Amino acid sequence: GAVVSQHPSWVICKSGTSVKIECRSLDFQATTMFWYRQFPKQSLMLMATSNEGSKATYEQGVEKDKFLINHASLTLSTLTVTSAHPEDSSFYICSARAGGGTIYNEQFFGPGTRLTVL
Amino acid sequence: EDQVTQSPEALRLQEGESSSLNCSYTVSGLRGLFWYRQDPGKGPEFLFTLYSAGEEKEKERLKATLTKKESFLHITAPKPEDSATYLCAVLVAGNNRKLIWGLGTSLAVNP
């Protein structure tokens, strides 16, 4: 139980293009989803928190117009990196938290997406 | 300021050599402490949640304990497949349900 998928697992794109990453909770309803970024040998950096049906809350220093987040349903959230540049190259990981029950507090993570911008 | 510190930063063990990883925290109101395992190039895998001092949880060769200021992840008779980065995170009251993360302990178990 508590499986989260992420697609694609890796993507290479040209500078200036946009990339969409999908995050799905497969066996539970996720009222809240989180998007993280991780640099090599560093811990997770929270980018934004999204609740189903409402606008995402972005962390300080994260450009909301560059990293568009949509949490359209209880099982799907998307992160779109707009006009990507080489400095956006990173490992992006989503997590999902259930709306209630015994797993209410835990975040369950997807496998991550490696983005390389040329 | 809420803070989570993990030690050691890196640990190398021989197969079968038991040890402990530490996660110390200074937060205003602990709602839960979480342990995750992360393999290279993958997302973190949930291991344990601890809520109150004195609580313990076990899974195979891993045992997590919690006091009022720190948590330990005990690894008994580790195997090479236990090699990974172990991350600790805390959920703080009134923090919009965000996790505060430690930097992790990189564990290598040699056969």
Tell me the pLDDT tens digit for each residue of B6-31.
Answer: 999 999 999 999 999 999 999 888 88
Return d(Cα B53, Cα B50) in angstroms, integer: 8
Please list every residue in chain B whose beta carbon sits closer than 8 Å to the beta carbon of residue A93: 43-44
A 21-60: CB under 8 A from B: 32, 34, 42-44, 46, 49, 57
CB contact under 8 A, A109 and B46: yes
| Residue-by-residue DSSP string for B6-50 | EE-SEEEEETT--EEEEEEEE-SSEEEEEEEEE-TTS--EEEEEE
**Residue in B closest to A112 by C-alpha:** B43
**Segment A45-65 mean pLDDT:** 91
Give how far A68 is from chain B: nearest CA, Å. 19
Burial of residue A40 (CB within 10 Å: 0-12, 13-18, 19+) is exposed
What is chain A's mean pLDDT, rounded? 91
- Which pLDDT belongs to residue B111? 95
- Which pLDDT belongs to residue A24? 96
- Which pLDDT belongs to residue B33? 95
**Residue in B closest to A32 by C-alpha:** B97
**Residue in A closest to B93 by C-alpha:** A105
- Residue ranges of chain B whose pLDDT lies below 50: none
Pairing of strands A67-73, A57-58: unpaired
Nearest in space to B21 (alpha carbons), one of B81, B96, B83? B83
**Segment A21-37 mean pLDDT:** 93
Dihedral angle sign, alpha carbons of residues A66, A67, A71, A77: positive
Tell me the pLDDT tens digit for each residue of A57-110.
Answer: 999 999 999 999 998 888 999 999 999 999 999 999 999 988 665 556 789 999
